[in-house]
Amino acid sequence: MKNKLLLVIISVFLVFSCGGKKTDVLLIVEEEGVGVMGSVTFELSSSGKYQPKLWVPGYIVVFRVDRKFGDEAGQAGQAYKITKDYKFDPIGKVDLNKSNEDLAKQFGIKMKE
C-alpha cells in the first residue's frame, strides 16, 4: 500500500512540475525570423493563401533576440507561453547555446528520427 501511495505522489509531482512547460508547437524567434518546431495548422488568409497559425494559446515562444512577436515583446533567453488572452506568460529562462532541436526536446516536442 505504501508503495502505491508513493508512486501516486511521485506521479502527481512529475505531472505538476512539468506543467506549463510542454507544448505541441515551439516557436523560436531569431534575428532572421521565426522557427517552428512541431506540427502547426494552416488557415486560409483573406488574400487566399494558406498561412501557418502561430498565435495560438498554449504554444511556447522562445526568444534568441529581443524582439516583438505579434503585439507582445520578448527578451532574449526567455521562454513564454501564449495565454488564452493572447498575451505572453513568462515560464522561465532558456540556454541560448542549445540548438533548436534541443530546445524542442526540452519543451516536449517529439522530433522525427
Mean pLDDT of the 28-55 span: 92
What is the predicted pLDDT for the residue at 87?
A: 96
Q: What is the CA radius of gyration of the chain?
A: 17
E-strand ranges in the chain read 25-30, 33-38, 42-44, 50-52, 60-63, 67-69, 72-74, 78-82, 88-93
The three cell numbers locating residue 43: 488557415
pLDDT tens per residue across span 49-66: 999 999 999 999 999 999
Does the pLDDT value for residue 4 go beyond 80? no
Show me where the domains of the chain are located.
Answer: 22-104
What is the predicted pLDDT for the residue at 20?
A: 52
Question: Widest CA span of the chain, in angstroms?
Answer: 62
